[in-house]
Amino acid sequence: MTSTQTEFERPASRIEQPEYDELLARVTAWVDGPGEEWAERIEETGEVPRALFDELKTNGYLSMAAPVELGGRGLSFSQWMGLMEVFSRSHASIRMLVHVINGTWRAMNPYADDEQREKFVKPSISGDKLVAFTLTEPDNGSGADITCTVRREGDTYYLSGRKHLITFGVACDYWLLFARLEGSSGKDGLVGLIVDRDADGVTVEDTSNTMGVRGTDHARLTFDNTPVPVSQRLGDEGDGLEIALGGFLTPSRISVAMSCVGLAERAQQLAVEYAAKRVTFGKPIASRQAIAFMIAENEADIEAAKQLVLHAARQWEEGADAASALSSMAKMVAVDMLTRVTDKALQVHGGLGYWKSEKIERVYRDARAQRFEEGTNEIQKTVVARDVFVRAAAKAAKEKTR
């Protein structure tokens, strides 16, 4: 068992194939039916209704990836990726809900004590409480350089600093937040805290007016000596970076990569349907070689990225050392693929695709978000390159000892 897998998530955990096939068919039918109706409503209002959240919860779609011991469905990670692919064909805010809620528990659970598991982890998995992952800051990167600070007085931390781009940061019940001990530097001074949404000394700004992913709330947060009970710290002081990046980031990057695959499949579907019905000079444009070649290139592009994502998922399940680098490769490749596919799918629609009357317009806007979610491609390339050079150095050192 690796450091990123606990007794609550065994690589062998999975549901039987007939049960999975039934679940996959049910999710697909929901995405194609009610999910599409919800998508239209979200685009019209710019909001995700509480009724949608309740429907996802009632259907069990917010608790599928977690182990049975924690109240989840007990899917393997690869099985969950198959469902993530389908959900990602839906509205981006629907994908965001099921992605985040089916993943946040991975960061909390390995470091939670029994009381925290009952109070925070299980209610998050059940959908009774919404926990917002709160790492990114406006003046720093998203790692050991964060400057949001806490000072401890007895059994209370006092939190000061700023966070931004926090998904569900407005409507959540708790922020899963990362800060550093006052006066510390580097990763050893970081702590992971579960902060009450209604705690004193917090200013919440709604920054949800985004290009795409309409309906999902995003927040800018300012903390001014906000009290946080020490009992709401996950793990030990110094565990913060490992909580934020260790067992959470790798599977989350793979999940985002699969969301790129699903959204690309939706763009391709719309392009194929439009090419079949749009007629010029007495023929559907699907018969035009220029259009057919774009469709063919998209199909190959999607399949290639999908197989890399699935390979990364299986490697993570097995606890392979290569899983972290593969997650970055999958995210990097899938994001670039999604950019190409949505661009060609929009081009197939001609000028009409630029109008909001066409569904491809929303897909095109939503596709831009994955390019910074869980790290930009520049970050992914840094991770992959570092892995390449570390392995090369290890190989050279090994050969010298022969």
Query: Both tokens of residue 331?
Result: 């995210």
1 alpha carbon, distance to own chain's centre: 24
C-alpha span between 344 and 292 (Å, rounded): 11
Any idea what DSSP says for residue 349? T
Q: Which H or E run contains 268?
A: helix 249-277
Neighbouring CB atoms inside 10 A of 312's CB total 31
Distance separating alpha carbons of residues 139 and 148, to the nearest angstrom: 10
Could you give the residue ranges of the DSSP H alpha helices within 111-231?
A: 114-116, 122-126
Say which DSSP state 121 is in: I
Rounded CA separation 38/43 (Å):
9
β-pair partners for 179: 191
Active site residue 118: no
Q: Mark 124-156 as b/e (b = at least 16 C-beta within 10 Å).
A: bbbbebbbbbbbbbeeeebebebebbbeeeeee
β-strand pairing of 131-134 with 174-181: parallel
d(CA 242, CA 354) in angstroms, rounded, equals: 43
From 9, 85, 237, 374, the catalytic residue: 374
Catalytic residues: 374
